Amino acid sequence: MKEKIVLAYSGGLDTSVCVKWLQEKYDAEVITLTLDLGQREEFSEIAARSKATGAVKHFQLDAKEEYVTNYVMPSVAANGMYQGKYPLATALGRPLIATKMVEVAEAEGATAVAHGCTGKGNDQVRMDVTVRAMDPSLRVIAPVREWNMSRDQELVYAKEHGIKIKPSNSVFSIDQNLWGRSIESGPLEDPDFEPPVAAFEWVTQPRDAPDTPGYLELGFAEGVPKTLDGEELGEIELIKRVNQFAGKHGVGIIDHVEDRLVGIKSREVYEAPAALTIIEAHRDLEQLVLTRHELAFKNGVEREWSWLVYSGLWMEPLRFALDSFIRTTQRRVSGNVRVKLYKGGLRVVGRTSKNSLYRPKLSTYQKDSTFDQASAVGFIELWGLQSRIAAKVASEITRGKNVEHPKRKQSQALKQKSK
Ligand code: ARG
């Protein structure tokens, strides 16, 4: 019986060539797997292409619900952003794809899984690490990492083997799911080159966006966005609508010189209208309901969480532990946030919460303030205590008061000798 290999299949050039290459090199049966993570794709075409390329079976799984519930929403709670800029769409999708590869491989009695990631990127790490953590008995094969073909050589290989390729005029390498669209390579490899309009599909150019501002109101329950403009929506639908609305107003483009895990700096461009809008609103609501101590500590947790996710360590126990902390903080993160969108700009203009720590009677500069200004005097006395002492010590040092002068010491020693 032939060995079976489960291949994560997008239907693009790389993974289509992978099917044939795995059959030839390993004399194996190839089973393809495509996940629906909300990317805007024709899945029937992908299935047809898999069949035409010679895969013995094709699975197409709708994983949108799982993706949003178990990956995207924890990322919202964590305000997940790598290097403060990238909302992690691709990074969040990879461990889920890997998980499903393992499930299909186990169900089908496959001995290996394969993916089309290159040896230069982050995605290979995310896939390999997750698969091996879940089922160490499975071999992971990454043909693109092994074969070392250029894109042109892949096209020749495809032609020679009668592989039908999606007619694509895109010069970019694209990965997309509900949370965002990642665009790289081609002319974007020059970090000084402004991304051409042709790179974008989700976001309207600001100059073409509506001339009047758009508003949206997001309602959060324990850190999860549940309503849009007062209407209760499933999370998938909510994200879709925010993507559409914010994208229409020109919001969501990110241009980032990114530090990849393998040490390469790379120019990455993203479209993530919903991710930017929802995280901005969520962060703002947290500022209203969490204490400054919670906020300051959570900030470090968020950076660590985003780094673990970016760097392929979704299965790392520390990530679970950080998630527990984050979940605890989210119990009070309920309320409404109003966002204004205008020609590429995004700004929170209002927020309310039953858990608000904002007390108008304390904050007001009007007469009815309940804040006792006299108590500030004692506070300042103690708050600055150590700084005052340190300043005094510093000034004594510069005036030479509290230093044992080396010369003086020496002369005393000499004095003793001469006695
Ligand atoms: N740099 C991003 C990341 O590592 C995006 C990767 C996009 N992948 C792709 N195949 N185009 O998450």
Count the residues in the chain. Answer: 419
C-alpha span between 26 and 2 (Å, rounded): 9
Atom of ligand 1 lying closest to residue 258 CA: 1
Q: Tell me how far the alpha carbon of residue 82 lies from the centroid of ligand 1, in angstroms.
A: 12
With 0-12 / 13-18 / 19 or more C-beta atoms within 10 angstroms meaning exposed / middle / buried, residue 382 is: exposed
- For helices 13-26 and 43-53, give the axis angle rounded to 10 degrees: 30
Give kind and range of the element (H or E) at residue 74.
Answer: helix 73-77
What value does the mean pLDDT take over residues 327-345? 98
C-alpha span between 100 and 61 (Å, rounded): 9
Are 353 and 335 spatial neighbours (Cβ–Cβ below 8 Å)? yes
pLDDT of 36-95, one tens digit each? 999 988 999 999 999 999 999 999 999 999 999 999 999 999 999 999 999 999 999 999
What value does the mean pLDDT take over residues 228-238? 98
**Is residue 411 pLDDT above 70, yes or no?**
no
In short, whether 123's Cβ falls inside 6 Å of ligand 1 is yes
Residue 188 is given by DSSP the state G
In short, whether 175's Cβ falls inside 6 Å of ligand 1 is yes
Who's near 333: CB < 8 A, 6+ residues apart?
Answer: 77, 220, 222, 223, 282, 285, 286, 289, 290, 355
Are 61 and 153 spatial neighbours (Cβ–Cβ below 8 Å)? no
Paired sense of beta strands 139-141 and 253-259, if any: unpaired
C-alpha span between 189 and 193 (Å, rounded): 8
Retrieve residue 300's tokens.
């470090």
Residue with tokens 């094709």: 58
pLDDT for 409 equals: 59
**Is residue 1 pLDDT above 90, yes or no?**
no
Q: Where in the chain are the domains?
A: 4-168, 174-290+333-357, 359-419
Catalytic center residues: 14, 94, 123, 173
> Residue 210 is which amino acid?
P
Indicate which residue's Cα is closest to atom 10 of ligand 1. Answer: 175
pLDDT for 335 equals: 98
- Domain 4-168: CATH architecture, name and number where available: 3-Layer(aba) Sandwich (3.40)
Question: What whole-number percentage of the chain has pLDDT above 90?
Answer: 85
DSSP for 251-264 reads --EEEEEEE-TTS-
**Is residue 417 pLDDT above 80, yes or no?**
no
Q: CATH topology for 174-290+333-357?
A: Argininosuccinate synthetase, chain A, domain 2 (3.90.1260)
Atom of ligand 1 lying closest to residue 270 CA: 5
In short, whether 154's Cβ falls inside 6 Å of ligand 1 is no
**Is residue 136 pLDDT above 80, yes or no?**
yes
C-alpha span between 417 and 142 (Å, rounded): 80
Are 270 and 177 spatial neighbours (Cβ–Cβ below 8 Å)? no
Phi (first) and psi of residue 112, to 5 degrees: -145, 155
pLDDT for 399 equals: 85
Q: What distance lies between CA 148 and its chain's CA centroid?
A: 29
Are 236 and 38 spatial neighbours (Cβ–Cβ below 8 Å)? yes
What value does the mean pLDDT take over residues 365-385? 93
pLDDT of 387-401, one tens digit each? 999 999 999 888 877
**Is residue 199 pLDDT above 90, yes or no?**
yes
pLDDT of 268-297, one tens digit each? 999 999 999 999 999 999 999 999 999 999
* Weakest mean pLDDT among 26-30, 80-84, 161-165, 344-348: 161-165
- Could you give the residue ranges of the DSSP H alpha helices within 78-220? 89-108, 123-134, 143-147, 151-160
Residue 184 is given by DSSP the state E
**Is residue 416 pLDDT above 80, yes or no?**
no
> How would you list the strands of the sheet with 231-232, edge to edge?
231-232, 224-228, 214-221, 335-342, 345-352
Mutate to test the pocket of ligand 1, among 184, 189, 306 (most ligand atoms within 8 A of CB): 184
Q: How far is CA 174 from CA 149, 166, 324, 388, 397, in A?
A: 19, 14, 33, 57, 61
Q: How far is CA 300 from CA 303, 310, 319, in A?
A: 5, 15, 13
In short, whether 173's Cβ falls inside 6 Å of ligand 1 is yes
Who's near 246: CB < 8 A, 6+ residues apart?
Answer: 216, 252, 273, 274, 276, 277, 341, 346
Q: Tell me how far the alpha carbon of residue 365 lies from the centroid of ligand 1, in angstroms.
A: 50
Question: What is the chain's alpha carbon radius of gyration, rounded to the nearest angstrom?
Answer: 28
Mutate to test the pocket of ligand 1, among 90, 92, 96 (most ligand atoms within 8 A of CB): 90
Give kind and range of the element (H or E) at residue 30.
Answer: strand 29-36
Are 270 and 91 spatial neighbours (Cβ–Cβ below 8 Å)? no
Query: What angle (nearest 5°) sits at the alpha carbon of residue 315, between those of residues 314 and 318?
Result: 85
Are 55 and 31 spatial neighbours (Cβ–Cβ below 8 Å)? yes
412 pLDDT band (50/70/90 cuts)?
Answer: low
Paired sense of beta strands 224-228 and 231-232, if any: antiparallel
Q: Tell me how far the alpha carbon of residue 143 lies from the centroid of ligand 1, in angstroms.
A: 18
pLDDT for 40 equals: 87
**SS3 (DSSP) at 299:** helix
